[in-house]
Structure 1
Amino acid sequence: MAEHKHGEMDTSVQEKTFDGFMSMTTKATVAIIVFLIFLALIAI
């Protein structure tokens, strides 16, 4: 069995994936909030 050494794994791919996910989530949240404000202004 291979010996595991803590902290030697290359995590650049996981970090890029997480950054993309957070960016997409943030943009989607902002878009939803803007859409809800737009709906509220129309309903007045």
Structure 2
Amino acid sequence: MAEHEHGSMDYDAQEKTFDGFMTFVTRSVVAILAILVLLALFAG
């Protein structure tokens, strides 16, 4: 197995993945809340 040096990892890909995930979660929550509000107004 390869030896790992502490502090040698490149975090760019990890940060981009996390940023994409957070954007997805934020947009999903906003969409779900909008759907719930519309349901409450028109179906309730």
- Please give the range of the TM-score, normalised by the shorter of the 2 chains: 0.7 to 0.9
Structure 2, unpaired ranges of 5+: none
User: Which ranges in structure 1 are unaligned for 5 or more consecutive residues?
Assistant: none
TM score, norm. by length of structure 2: 0.82
Shift of 1:3: 4.2
Q: Aligned partners of 1:10, 1:43: CA distance in 2, in Å?
A: 50
Share of identical aligned residues, percent? 59
TM-score by structure 1 length? 0.82
Superposition misfits of 4+ residues, deviation over 2 angstroms? 1-5
Which letter does structure 2 place at the counterpart of 1:28? S
SS of alignment partner, residue 36 of structure 1: helix
How many pairs does the alignment contain? 44
